[in-house]
Amino acid sequence: MGMDRNTVIGFVLIGVLLMGMFYINSKSRLAYEGEQKRIADSIAALAPKRDSLPVPIVTVTDTSVRPSLEDTTCFKTSITPGKGIILVENSLFSISFNSLGAVIDKIVLKKFNRFDGSPVVLNSSSFNKFSYEINSGVNKTLQTDKIVFEAGPVVINSDSSQTITFVAADAEGRKLSHVYTVKPADYMIDLDIQLIGSDKLFSRNAVNILWQTEATQVEKDHKYELTQTHICYAKNGKFDFEYVGKGDNLDMSKGADWIALKQQFFVAGLVAKNKFTSAETEWVAPSDTNQYITRAIVHAKATFTPGSNATIPLSFYFGPSDYNTLKIYDNQMENIVPYGSGIFAFVKYINRHFLLPVFDFLQRHVASMGMVILLLTLLIRLITSPILYKSYLSGAKMKVLKPEVD
């Protein structure tokens, strides 16, 4: 049964209105882009010429906020005030490395802002930690976040990626190297832990890694953001997740490929390229404060081939929970984006292969996000209109028959 005359007229008027708004919006956007280009060209003409090759930004700042420790082992455990922080950038973020522990100290995302307009900053609180325990002497152990590493220069590779190496050594020839690689236009940061004297540094050819990560508040609604925060992981190539709720723990004794803390729109993840042989995660969410959304503590074990030298390849992901971005890593991380699960798992295929491409197309050609949502909503309504029309018609008939039924 076809639609009635009023419904057809309504759809036609909505279509004409949308076309008019799209035309006006497009003209405004083109004018705005033209004006921005003229301004940019003027600024570029006045700016001094630079070399075409990218130059890494290396900044050294004071780290006196972190306590200096007495040197109780052959590894250096005290840091000179005024040294320690090194800044590296790509087109997506700026990353601060700390020589104390040779760790990522802070990530500032360039393309995203918090609800208050400030940049999104990840991995910045004092709770965040990456460390593992080594044998530092007879009946002595030491966590690597207490060791001061020497930072080498930032090296630009042939593929435009940037590599920085942190080294710590003792008098007996044992050496730890953290080699970080920051790729252009990529949120994944590679970390190779290179060990010399690994048979003396570790027992049973295994490294027990401690990774702590905190999801700080990004959106205005703290409680809703908590409901959208998950612990995600993959083991044996299969994805799964847990709601954080008020706190719990997860035992992955059979190993894991990667573990991530996903909040509403952003992800912090630790990836083992050769798989963690076992892992355990616990998390806690505050009940009476907006200080943070969730804190997660991960204990993971990575094994290596017996011998005096070894390499443990890892990666960190700090970036948006965007399906297209995560899909390129081919490790199930794209499933972090909740497009449908459980009894509604079939919906994720519609979302991924139809609605998402349409949304991306509209976003590329329409400047206003409000218009994109409106057009997408209209499209869905048009597609479902035959079903909705029959539903409305059945409802109307029942309304007419109700007095007789009564």
pLDDT in tens, 180-202: 999 999 999 999 999 999 999 99
2-8, Cβ contacts within 8 angstroms, sequence gap of 24 or more: 3/385, 3/389, 7/389
Please return the burial class of 68, using the count of CB atoms within 10 Å of its CB with bins 0-12, 13-18 and 19+: middle
Backbone angles phi, psi at 131, to 5 degrees: -160, 160
Tell me the pLDDT band of 67, cut-offs 50, 70 and 90: very low
pLDDT score, position 28: 53
pTM attached to this predicted model: 0.72
Give the contacts of 343 (CB within 8 A, at least 6 positions apart). Answer: none
Is the pLDDT score of 9 beyond 80? no
Give the position of tokens 């973020």: 93
Q: How far, CA to CA in Å, does 78 sit from each of 147, 176, 217, 349?
A: 8, 16, 33, 54
Provide the mean pLDDT of the chain: 82
Is the pLDDT score of 329 beyond 70? yes
* Least reliable range by pLDDT among 63-72, 162-171, 199-208, 215-224: 63-72
Backbone angles phi, psi at 51, to 5 degrees: -65, 150
Q: How far apart are CA 132 and CA 20, in angstroms?
A: 61
Tell me the pLDDT band of 121, cut-offs 50, 70 and 90: very high
* Least reliable range by pLDDT among 51-55, 107-111, 154-158, 328-332: 51-55
